[in-house]
Amino acid sequence: DVKVTQSSRYLVKRTGEKVFLECVQDMDHENMFWYRQDPGLGLRLIYFSYDVKMKEKGDIPEGYSVSREKKERFSLILESASTNQTSMYLCASRVDKGGKSNQPQHFGDGTRLSIL
């Protein structure tokens, strides 16, 4: 079974801090994604990566950056945390060989981040 592991289930940080959320997948997937989920707004894509050191902005990249130095690990960075970044953050991965994939996307358990 595919395993997507997020480093923390719950995290509390202070305004202005630099925050790192880590995600690791064990299935050699090319694609990795970071979403945030808020009541009434659904899932929104922050950033995704289709290969090591490659990244693309999603719908709401402002205030965030990402890092993918190894294929299995995708990190989300809040450069200077603000209260409006309090949310549930979900990491996902999906195999995508040759740009085509009929394999499902797999999600981690999420990180509930509170910024005080």
Partner 1 sequence: KQEVTQIPAALSVPEGENLVLNCSFTDSAIYNLQWFRQDPGKGLTSLLLIQSSQREQTSGRLNASLDKSSGRSTLYIAASQPGDSATYLCAVLLYGNNRLAFGKGNQVVVIP
Contact 94, 101 (CB under 8 A): yes
- Closest approach, Cβ 116 to partner 1, in A, equals 20
Contact 15, 83 (CB under 8 A): yes
User: What is the separation, in whole angstroms, between the first and last Cα of the chain?
Assistant: 37
- Closest approach, Cβ 45 to partner 1, in A, equals 6
- Reduce the secondary structure of 56-81 to three states and give it as a string: EECCCCCCEEEEEEECCEEEEEECCC
Query: Residue 7 interacts with partner 1 (CB under 8 A)?
Result: no
Stretch that binds partner 1, among 14-22, 35-43, 60-68, 72-80 (CB under 8 A): 35-43
Query: Residue 15 interacts with partner 1 (CB under 8 A)?
Result: no
Binding site for partner 1 (CB under 8 A): 4, 31, 33, 40, 42-43, 45, 48, 50, 56, 58, 88, 90, 92, 96, 100-110, 112
